[in-house]
Structure 1
């Protein structure tokens, strides 16, 4: 685990935990999935990473979240919701770069 990445994710997560879910993201969906559910999925993945246990299933979920966030960001205007989504996307990208897929043993 890269200490610099871990530290940045820790700071971003602490900031994120102090926020309320932005009004401009409520009721918003991407590919039929509510953004609020994406936020919950991200919370589980980030918490697992910070706890030192990002398993393969959570890594897949995190990759899915990252792809959805990349679709969402261009649709958001400047403001609270965009900053919120950008923070989530940054955490996803950092964690994915720091936790490469594990090779299966054959």
Structure 2
């Protein structure tokens, strides 16, 4: 685990924890998944990474969530929801680049 990456994720995560789920994302879905659920799954994976224990399963889940959230970003106006999703994607990208790939993924 890279200390620089871990530090950046920790800072972004601390910022994220202080935010309420944006009103402009309530009821929004991407690929049939509610954004609120993708947020919750991503949160569990970030928590695992920050705690030093990102499992292979969490890495796969995070990769799936990041892909869906990346697809959502261009559809969002540059407002509260856009920044919220962009932060989730940034954390996921940092974690995925810092975590070993699961064989076969």
Normalised to the residue count of structure 2, the TM-score between the two structures is 0.96
For 1:1-106, list aligned pairs within 5 A.
1-103=1-103
User: Gaps spanning 5+ residues in structure 1: where?
Assistant: none
Could you report, residue by residue, the CA deviation over 1:39-71 in whole angstroms, capped at 9, with x for unpaired residues? 000110000000100010000000001100111
Normalised to the residue count of structure 1, the TM-score between the two structures is 0.95
How many Å apart are 1:82 and its aligned residue?
Answer: 0.1
Would you say how many aligned residue pairs link Structure 1 and Structure 2?
A: 104
User: Gaps spanning 5+ residues in structure 2: where?
Assistant: none
How many Å apart are 1:100 and its aligned residue?
Answer: 1.7
C-alpha RMSD over aligned residues: 1.1
The structure that has the greater radius of gyration is 1
